[in-house]
Amino acid sequence: MIKKVYLTLPLLIFLNGCANKPDVYVENTLFINNASANTNKINLPLEKKNLLLEKNLTIIEEVKNNSANINKKIMHFYNEWKDVKYKFGGNSKKGIDCSAFTQRIYKEKFNIKIPRTTRTQVKAGKEITKAKLELGDLIFFKTGKVDRHVGVYMGNGDFMHASIKGVKLSKVDKPFYKKAYWTSRRIID
């Protein structure tokens, strides 16, 4: 008798769990599950619930496409500039500094004008927390008493920048940058 309970209980739990899943599966299942659960709680006809779910899927697809487009543009720019040497005040492939690098990305890839210096770029766009960083956000560091540094967040804890070692990718949680983190700004809506 006990063996039958041990065998049937997991099967019942599994079947019950499957019955509560939405009919739609996409990569972002957490959002879809929440959207599906929320539409089920609303007193609407099934057609309207399906329409709400469909709109949520459309929004998710638009966000994914926009992210992929931003990523493609930024990576293309990075590949063009990778290993270009650092030069304070520089703004060409003969040498570039961090703020000229970020200014060029936004101008050339997104047709967005941002100020030239790190101290003025830090006032552009909208301030965001480090925890809310997204692809394309500016990330700022205090690297000395008066020195400031800026890069572009790439996702997964990476950012690209014109460092003293040239244009490269670095980790935000690398001890030096973790300690020097100052603020972040969202330029692309």
Residues with a known catalytic role: 98, 149, 161
> How far, in Å, CA of 123 to CA of 27, rounded?
36
Q: What are the tokens at 26?
A: 């996409």
Longest dimension (CA), the chain: 80
> How far, in Å, CA of 121 to CA of 149, rounded?
10
> How far, in Å, CA of 85 to CA of 162, rounded?
8
> How far, in Å, CA of 183 to CA of 152, rounded?
12
Residues with Cβ within 8 Å of residue 126, at least 6 apart in sequence:
185, 186
